[in-house]
Amino acid sequence: MTERPTALGFLGCGFIARYHAMQLAVAGHDCSAVACHDPDGERAARFAREVASQMPALGSPEVCGSVEEVLDASDAVFVCTWTAAHRELVVAAADRGLPVFCEKPLGTSLADAEAVALALESTPAHAVGLVLRSSPAMLAVQELVRDPAAGAVMNVVFRDDQYLPVDGLYESRWRVDATLAGSGALLEHSIHDADLLEFLVGPIDAVGAHVGHFHGIDGIEDNVTAMGRYQSGATFSLASVWHDIDARSSLRRIEVFCANRLVTLEGDVFGPVLMQSDDETLHLEGDEIVDWLDHRDVPTESTETAFLHAVGQHLEGRKPARLRPDAADALRAHQVVDAMYRSAAAGGAPVDVPAGGTATGEGG
């Protein structure tokens, strides 16, 4: 066993870094946020103050003047920067032999994502921030859809909306800079949705899409409508919107029409989740979802927790098992998104998605 708390470094100190730190603090793990760095020194200082005051179990991270200082101090790192920086930082950490938790999307382009995935796979342990896979609500939807009593999945209707992610919670404007973000709502936000569409149902084999630019930001789409077909023959539609309704910070609605039941989700994490069939109705919300999953022996471990356990195994000299979601899962989501962009560039023409995907039978 390790004799001290696992030392964690944070590269990038914005909203998502605070989210991951809070997840670790709430779970009460034996770890310490020892170092952090951000190109914006004040943001890094604010992150350090907030960890020390609001998450005292994680200690008080040192604000470092360089990436190298963070790598020197850390047993593992969280890469939480803008997307364009992921490749350089993941490669630097991989070259040190450090475990890496990398935010989604992996890169600003498919080629960039492939390079990041290759670097992640060379690390002792890694995970990717497609964290909605471990939300209780998503796990409940997957369980209800997988149930043989549901019958075959026929159609999925997916809506994802969020206010334009600048300022507010996000405290930064990099998501409206295509050189840093790569592109807009589809890549930066709805790569979660591309992942979930396969996580919940199975592999996608063709898509078509249209995008819009209502805010007039060069290279940053804010409106997406996509349709697709699963290898099983089921179909789906996806609507993704960045709007100016500040009261709607980030909301998803998913309807999965199976032959024998309808499963509906409102909200990312704690529902409600609704199920309707001829002989049964089910309403789950909040802690009820966790209790229901526990009763069915469905693990509810967070992605951050799974990563930290893997880091601990590495530090003890053991080889960690594969974590999910990992680089392969994240690269697969990027392949789906890339096909949607190619379809939009071709006026909505259908585009095949490479074979593969997240089969629900693999355990997600």
pLDDT of residue 363: 37
pLDDT for residue 2 is more than 90: no
Please tell me the distance from the alpha carbon of residue 91 to that of residue 121, in angstroms, as a whole number.
Answer: 11
3-class DSSP state of 102: strand
Q: Which pLDDT tens digit goes with each residue over 253-264? A: 999 999 999 999
Q: Give the residue, 28 or 174, on which the prediction is more confident.
A: 174
pLDDT of residue 361: 37
Confidence band (pLDDT; 50, 70, 90) for 357?
A: low
- The token pair at 148 is 């043989």
Cβ atoms within 10 Å, residue 13: 30
Residue type, 139: L
Mean pLDDT (whole number) for 21-29 = 87
Strand order in the sheet with 273-276: 281-284, 273-276, 262-266, 250-258, 153-163, 235-243, 223-230, 204-212, 351-352
Q: How far are the Cα atoms of 203, 334, 335, 361 from residue 352, in angstroms, in the given order?
A: 12, 14, 10, 23
- The token pair at 358 is 């997240």
**In sequence order, what DSSP letters do the residues of 206-227 get, joined into one string?**
EEEEEEE-TT--TT---EEEEE
* Preceding omega of 299 cis (within 30 degrees of 0): no
Residue type, 47: F
Confidence band (pLDDT; 50, 70, 90) for 172?
A: confident
pLDDT of residue 4: 83
pLDDT of residue 358: 57
